[in-house]
Amino acid sequence: MSDRCCEGVRPLKFSRRYFLKQGGIAMVGMSAMPAFLQRAVAASLVTTGKKQFVVLFQRGAADGLNIVVPFAEPNYYRLRPTIAIPQPRRGTADAAIDLDGFFGLHPSLAPLEPLFHTNQLAIVHAAGSPDPTRSHFDAQDFMESGTPGVKATEDGWLNRAVQIEPEEDASPFRAVAMGPNLPHMLHGSASAIALPDLKQFKVMPQTAGSGAAVEGGFEAMYAQTVDHALRGTGTETFEAIDMLRKVDPSKYAPENGAQYPTSRLGQNLQQIGQLLKANIGVEVLFVDCGGWDNHVNEGGVQGQLSNLLKDLGQGLAAFHQDMGDRMRDVVVVTMSEFGRTAKENGNRGTDHGHANCMFVMGGPVKGGRVYGNWPGLADHQLNEGRDLALTTDFRSVLSEVLAKHIGLIDLKTVFPGFDSGARRFPGLIRT
């Protein structure tokens, strides 16, 4: 459901001036370059200083009630007799990790606890899309288009956010999705590319059809460019840029002792860190992970959900550690199409629900809090008598990040039909 190609052919356009200005060869060790290229880099390398935004989509509808556990809510344990996470207990790792006396993290998310208590991680509970659909495809489509209930929206909200401030000679890496195809969130008129694997450096441009990779990395991008200024006089510059493909990314060493999981998500997060450090003009990035549709044997402290959360927690914590001081310019938001039923089913799993939780991580985040209005889990408080009720629209959270972090104040085009100005989630991002 998640792999869809973008419609409409848009050639990649970048100029010699762009590469000279941005110093896009920062990923390459200076010692590996000829002397004349070292001088060129030393003269032109700059740090963009731009704010960067990473969106992580948990496909399959993650169980927010077992991710951020309302352990002080008695009805939680009544509704989940076999899969509930136990209340926090001193000296044991098989219980919820107390955050504020009411909510706790699933124990598999232990790597994120220090980030919460150092105000680098915030959580918004009972959040999600107001549309009542229980269809994975429709719900994901609505959250990626940013127009819940409207199926006709062809472009995605993240692409529209990039369109608000068009840039001359914009980097072809301004908007990047980690994966073989461009997600709906990045469909639109602003240029965006998909990178299946940085180690092979195959680039997926916005093309119709099969979405075949552009073989040859930057060499192919060079052949496709419509900017003649790069050809001829820019040859030496381009040869230096092409070294990015020739250098083995497996030599990349995460900083500050960070250790990423060997999973697909872990390696994607490591490559996102690598791209952000490269100073090649990356502003927004998208990554997703699947497997969250746990109808059967979801598990509690141990099980399917626990394994997914261990990967997620270790990956996000490693990314934060690897980025170090660079996190002052980075915000990461997690989202999933909807939550799960409040009551476990007969197969020790959960079915499609409604509201969920979102994580917001980064230096600009006012963390250390679980935000949102808690609706309660009594029978009369549940959505349709079965789900956690929604009290925060996901667009409110995203609007606050886009406004306070990215600086996009007028968001009417990003979320049409939604009053972002009046309904932004206040206080989540530092000004």
The neighbour count for residue 64, using CB atoms within 10 Å, is: 26
What is the model's pLDDT at position 260?
Answer: 98
pTM score, two decimals? 0.84
CA distance 234 to 16: 6
**Residue that wins the pLDDT comparison between 382 and 199:** 382
Q: Band of the pLDDT at 205, cuts 50, 70, 90?
A: low
The residue with greater pLDDT, 20 or 99, is 99
Q: Is the pLDDT of residue 345 over 60?
A: yes
The stretch 418-425 carries a mean pLDDT of: 90
Beta bridge partners of 352: 340
Q: Is pLDDT above 50 for 227?
A: no
Instruction: Compute the distance between CA of residue 281 and CA of residue 116 in angstroms, rounded to an integer.
Output: 29
Confidence of residue 28 (pLDDT cuts 50, 70, 90): very low
Q: Which of 168-172, 336-340, 365-369 has the lowest mean pLDDT?
A: 168-172
Q: Which two tokens stand for residue 323?
A: 């980025």
First CA to last CA across the chain, in angstroms? 37
State yes or no: pLDDT of 240 exceeds 70: no
Whether the CB-CB separation of 1 and 136 falls below 8 Å is answered with: yes
Structure tokens at 344: 């476990």
Report the share of the chain in percent with pLDDT over 90.
66
- pLDDT(241) > 60: no
Between residues 299 and 199, the one the model is more confident about: 299
d(CA 194, CA 230): 23
Look at the block and give the residue holding tokens 């250098």: 247
In sequence order, the 6+-apart residues with CB closer than 8 A to the CB of 306 are: 106, 107, 108, 299, 300
pLDDT of residue 238: 46
> ∠406-407-409 over CA atoms, to 5°?
130
Per the DSSP assignment, residues forming a β-bridge with 125 are 357
Sequence letter at residue 371: Y
pLDDT at residue 270 is higher than 60:
yes
Contact between residue 340 and residue 353 where contact means Cβ atoms under 8 Å apart: yes
Give the 3-state secondary structure of the chain.
CCCCCCCCCCCCCCCHHHHHHHCCCCCCCHHHCCHHHHHHHHHHCCCCCCCEEEEEEECCCCCHHHHEECCCCHHHHHHCCCCCCCCCCCCCCCCCEECCCCCEECHHHHHHHHHHHCCCEEEEEEEECCCCCCCHHHHHHHHHHCCCCCCCCCCCHHHHHHHCCCCCCCCCCCEEEECCCCCHHHCCCCCCEEEEECCCCEEECCCCCCCCCECCCHHHHHHHCCCHHHCCCCHHHHHHHHHHHHCCHHHCCCCCCCCCCCCHHHHHHHHHHHHHHCCCCCCEEEEEECCCCCCCCCCCCCCHHHHHHHHHHHHHHHHHHHHHHHHHHEEEEEEECCCEECCCCCCCCCCECCCEEEEEEECCECCCCEECCCCCCCHHHCECCCECCCCEEHHHHHHHHHHHHHCCCCCCCCCCCCCHHHHCCCCCECC
Judged by average pLDDT, the poorest of 79-83, 210-214, 305-309, 405-409 is 210-214
* Residue 272 clears pLDDT 80, i.e. is over it: yes
Q: Are residues 70 and 377 in contact, defined by beta-carbon separation less than 8 angstroms?
A: yes
Can you read off the two tokens belonging to residue 379? 């029978």
Mean pLDDT of the chain: 83
User: How do residues 242-256 score in pLDDT, each as one tens digit?
Assistant: 545 554 566 789 999
Give residue 204's pLDDT band: very low, low, confident or very high (50, 70, 90).
low
